Structures are given as C-alpha cells and as structure tokens.
Structure 1
Amino acid sequence: MMKLNIRFACLVGLSTLAVAVSPTLSNANPAPESQTDGVTVINNNIELNRAKNLARQAAEAANGGLGKYRAEASMHGTSKESPFVDNGDGSWTFTFKGYKPGSSVYTVETVVTVFKDGRIRVDYNGQIRESSGI
C-alpha cells in the first residue's frame, strides 16, 4: 500500500508541476507597440523576420538557387540586424549582397521589397553598384 501511495504522490506532484509551467497559462499576449520619440519600437518581430526570410529566398531563386548563390550573413541573423528600411507603408526594403558558394567575394547586389501581406518584389538583382552604400 505504501508503494502505491508514493507513486500516487509523485504523479500528483508532476501533474501540478506540469500545469504550473504550461505555456497555455503563460501570458500569450505580446506587449503592445510603444512610441519613443516618434520611432515605433516593435516588441514582436515576427513579421519583420518573415519578410527578411522571404527577401533572402527571393534572391536565392533569382540567382539560380542555393547551388549557385548565398546571401550575406546578415540575411541569416536576427531581423533587426539585417539591412532593411521600413518604408512606412506596410513594407520593408532589403538591400544586400551575395556570392557564389565556395567564394568569399560578393558579386551580386539584390534589392527586395516585401509587403506585410506577403507580396514580394525584386527591385534590383545584378552587379554591385558603387552608389549602393552597402
């Protein structure tokens, strides 16, 4: 009987612990956007990260796929550190470089605009321009 009570106590304890750390009971509502000197601080970068990934994938497709093209490292890192401009109209424009696999020399510049609704527009994809500033 004692062995059964210990098992039961352990089961109750583990069940209580599981409920206490359950993600469904945590605050599922993200913090609202806040204003700081006219600049919107985005607390939830899911949309920007999605846009960065879509821009990188558009460049990969435009340049023959991953077997022929790799985007610069900033397009694989955090979205806040990627080379983008918030256009203020529900879109972001990413301007970045790429290279051939096995090389360390950038040969392609790509400019991609991604809209919040998922539309993607490749604005430029060609030789690196001197005036691009990247």
Structure 2
Amino acid sequence: MMKLNIRFACLLALSTLAVGVSPAWSNPVGADDSQLTDITVISNNIELNRAKNLARQVAEKANGGLGKYRAEAAMHGASAQSPFVENDDGSWTFTFQGHQPGASVYTVETVVTVFPDGRVRVDYNGRIRNSLNVR
C-alpha cells in the first residue's frame, strides 16, 4: 500500500508540473515573436553566465587559486552586468581585475575570451596596464 501511495504522489506531482508548463516554452514552433524573443534572451543569459563563470575560473587558476586571487565583484554578479564584449564570431571577451584575498587594491588585469563551444583563451593576465582600467 505504501509503494502505491508514493507512486501516486509522484504521479500527481509530475502531473501538476506538466500542467504548469506553458506551450510557448515547451514548443516554440507555434509561438509568436515576443515569446521567441523571451526564449532567446533566457538562452543567451544562460550561455553568457556560463562564459562569465568559465572566464573567472580560468583567471582564478592562472593566478594561483582562490587562496591567492579574487576576481572583481562584477565577475560574481549578474552576467549581463559583467565587463564583457560580444565578438562577431559569437564569443565573449571579458576584461576584469582581481586582487589578493583581503586586499582592496586591484593589481591584476585579466582578459579572457570564451567561445560558444566552451573553449577558453587567456588573452592577457598580468599587471594592470593603464589607469583608465582602474575601477
């Protein structure tokens, strides 16, 4: 009897979730343009957030790990507000700064390009190159 109740509860939960799914989200073929735009924005934000995280993680590793390096706060927040440019080939280039844990002065500038297929290239990782980049 207990197995039947658990199965019924699971079936009921899955049914409730399935009913709550909008057809526009599950099947965009028949969706109007505004719904497709919403889907594209969500997809792009997920990809951009993944790219931002990859860029930050590569910088952390290149600078000795979290025990020795912390990227600026923008690399931990909303991906759309991170310091990036979208390139013509669909990749993103992030230019950001970092410092030692507990420090308040940024000492390292890192430029990382992340490609849509997940490849990552460190374009620069060293001293901050000019005062215009200081945040």
Q: TM-score band, normalised by the shorter chain? A: 0.7 to 0.9
Instruction: Write out aligned runs for 1:1-134 (5 A).
Output: 15=12, 19-22=15-18, 25-26=21-22, 27-28=25-26, 31-33=35-37, 42-44=41-43, 45-130=45-130, 133-134=133-134
- Higher-helix-fraction structure: 2
Distance 1:61 1:29, change over 3 A: farther
Query: How much is the aligned-residue C-alpha RMSD, in angstroms?
Result: 2.8
Counterpart AA for 1:25: V
Structure 1 gap ranges (5+) = 1-10, 35-40
* Whole-Å separation in 1 of the counterparts to 2:126 and 2:36: 39
* Whole-Å separation in 2 of the counterparts to 1:131 and 1:121: 24
Structure 2 gap ranges (5+) = 1-7, 29-34
Bigger Cα Rg:
1
Shift of 1:88: 1.8
Shift of 1:131: 6.0
Stretches (4+) displaced over 4 A: none
**TM-score, normalised by the number of residues in structure 2:** 0.73
**TM-score, normalised by the number of residues in structure 1:** 0.74
Distance 1:133 1:106, change over 3 A: closer
* Whole-Å separation in 1 of the counterparts to 2:130 and 2:19: 49
Distance 1:57 1:29, change over 3 A: farther
Q: State the SS of the aligned residue for 2:89.
A: coil
Identity of aligned residues (%): 64
Q: State the SS of the aligned residue for 2:49.
A: helix
Shift of 1:79: 0.5
- Higher-strand-fraction structure: 1
- What is the count of residue pairs matched by the alignment? 117
Shift of 1:85: 0.2
